[in-house]
Amino acid sequence: MNYITQVQVNSEEEMRALGRQLVGDVASGDVVYLGGELGVGKTTLARAMITAWGYLGRIKSPSYGLIEVYPMPDGGQVAHLDLYRLEGGEALYDLGLESYLNGRTIVIIEWPERATGYLPDPNWQIHISDGHASGCQTAPDPDLRQVVIQSKRPLTKPDPQQPNR
C-alpha cells in the first residue's frame, strides 16, 4: 500500500460521514478490507458506504449468511462479507467469492484475517480501533475511534469532521 491516512472518529455519525467520503475514492472492482475488534464500527462504516453508493433498501449485516450483495443504481454491485464466523478460508469457495472478483463489483470484507491466504489483495485496508487502545491521550470517550486507512491511491478527503462532498 502506497498511502496511509490516520483519522480520529468521535462518534457513530462521524463514522458514517467517513464512509460517505470514502465512496468517492473506492472504484469498481476494488477490494476493501475492514479490520478491528468487535463493536468498533466496521459494519457502520460498510453500511454508510453502501448507502452512499445509492442502495436504498435495508442493509443487513452479513454476520450469519457471511455475504450480502447489493445492486447499485449504476449497474454495479457491492458484495459485503463478514468472515467472523468463517470456519477456515477454504469455505470461501462455497460462498462464490470468485464470481464477485470481476472488475465491476466492489467487495467489502470484514474480518479478512479469518481467511488469510484465501483472499485477493486489497486496494484498501481499513483498521478501526478503540481510540484509547491506540494511544489516544484524551479523556475516556466510548465513541472515540482511530481509523487507519492504507490504500493504493490517495484519499481526496479523509476527514469525517468536514462537510460532505
pLDDT in tens, 31-89: 999 999 998 999 999 999 999 999 999 888 777 678 999 999 989 999 999 999 887 77
- Rounded Cα gap, residues 49 and 81, in angstroms: 14
Q: Is the dihedral of CA 11, 35, 64, 101 positive or negative?
A: positive
Terminal Cα distance for the chain, rounded:
25
Model confidence at 20, pLDDT cuts 50, 70, 90, reads: very high
Domains, the chain, ordered by start: 3-151 (3.40.50.300)
Half-sphere exposure of 53 (CA within 13 A, CB side): 29
Q: Which residue has the higher pLDDT, 25 or 136?
A: 25
> What value, to the nearest 5°, has the Cα angle with vertex 60 and ends 22 and 15?
30
Once rounded to an integer, what is the mean pLDDT over residues 97-123?
92
Q: Please give the pLDDT value at position 138.
A: 54
Q: Please give the pLDDT value at position 44.
A: 94
Of 56-60, 82-86, 133-137, 146-150, give the lowest mean pLDDT range. Answer: 133-137
DSSP 125: E
Once rounded to an integer, what is the mean pLDDT over residues 3-21?
93
Can you say how many angstroms the Cα of residue 80 is from the centroid of all Cα atoms in its chain? 9
Provide the Cα torsion 61, 153, 96, 78; round to 10°.
Answer: 50
- Rounded Cα gap, residues 83 and 63, in angstroms: 7
